[in-house]
Structure 1
Amino acid sequence: MKLPKVIHAICWAGLLLFSLGTNASYAQSAGLVTFDDLSNEYGEAKVEINLSKQLLGLIGTFSKKENPELSELASNIESITVRVYNITDDAQAALNLIDKTTKGLRKDNWVPIVSVNEEGEKVRIFSKSTGEVMDGMVVMVVDTNSKEAVFINLVGQIDPARINDLTGALNL
């Protein structure tokens, strides 16, 4: 599965789940999931993206005149973390890690949005909310055919009505 497809899945899942609106106060780190221990399982990430509130603020500042929608959306996001790993040896271990992580997320009251189980592929999308405000989203994809594992965490106020604006602004 290619990364843009995963990001599109995030956007549509958020749109479907949170069509009620977002007017409650934001719990700053409620949607945060750290991926620090993944390197122990997979080795060094082939793609590692860490966009903090400050970096997203810069994006918002630089895009304010040309793309005010992107600027506004960036101001509501606390962080975006992406890790992409090669699956080299034991593909089953990578699939098992998705199951283990899923159990941990459910224990921490994350809500499953999407679950796909196909031969050699698992996809999980979870969200965490405070009231009607989505505080975070986690996407996990393991595809043994493409030999990739992708982990994404989006933290912040995610307004489903604006997700299409964001994907359009970023050409996704």
Structure 2
Amino acid sequence: MKTTIFTIAFAAAVLLSGCTVQAKPSLVTSVPKNDGVEEIFKQLKSEKNVTYINLPKSFIKMGLKSSNDKTASALADQIDALQILAFENTDKKAKDNLYKRIGGLEVKGYEPMVKTNEDGEKVRILVKSNEKEIQSIVIFAMDKEDCSLIRIDGHINPSDLDAIVDSQTK
């Protein structure tokens, strides 16, 4: 379902930034560049029918602080970058290839948190973390028509992320 993919991408962008601006890549990074996700973004961001959005820390911080939401504001200093790839009119072979690449992130230190497959829609949420913080969240959503890939990098306290999820699901 096309709306599911774009709802996830839109919710992440709105929740974490409050604005949608295409910007130059952030110089701040917390996850090694060889983690597999960076390669996917680098290779696909200029492809036809792909929308690439990169929000550096300054825009994310501005959006979260202006939200007047205490739980969102708590994340303002913890998120370094937000990247989104939205694919439109992508053929099945290309989407399946991307799906396999996302699955391959597990051997690069990402842990699967959510795996769903319902009515042709697939959603994967993977997290790279240590004992103290979440360093990267990767959200991949795909349906029969479109797919999206979202990456959130930072030094995120898991309890702050739980508070956001709780406030959005009540």
TM-score bracket, shorter-length normalisation: 0.5 to 0.7
| C-alpha contact 2:134 2:158 (8 A) present in aligned 1 | no
Distance 1:5 1:91, change over 3 A: same
Residue deviations 1:120-158, cap 9 Å, x none? Answer: 3322211001223111110111111xx111000011133
The one-letter code matched in structure 2 to 1:56 is I
Residue deviations 1:36-81, cap 9 Å, x none? Answer: 21246x52424x3211112223335545xx4444333111111111
**Which residue number in structure 2 is paired with residue 15 of structure 1?**
none
The one-letter code matched in structure 2 to 1:38 is L
- Does residue 55 of structure 1 match 2:95? no
The TM-score with structure 2 as length reference comes to: 0.67
Tell me the C-alpha RMSD between the 2 structures: 3.3
Q: Distance in 2 between matches of 1:118 and 1:68?
A: 34
| C-alpha contact 1:8 1:167 (8 A) present in aligned 2 | no
- Does residue 4 of structure 1 match 2:7? yes
Q: Which moved more, 1:106-115 or 1:134-143?
A: 106-115
Q: Distance in 1 between matches of 2:76 and 2:122?
A: 29
Identity of aligned residues (%): 26
**Which residue number in structure 1 is paired with residue 75 of structure 2?**
73
Q: Note the residue ranges of structure 2 that are not aligned, 5 or more in a row.
A: 13-28
The one-letter code matched in structure 2 to 1:45 is V
**Which residue number in structure 2 is paired with residue 134 of structure 1?**
134
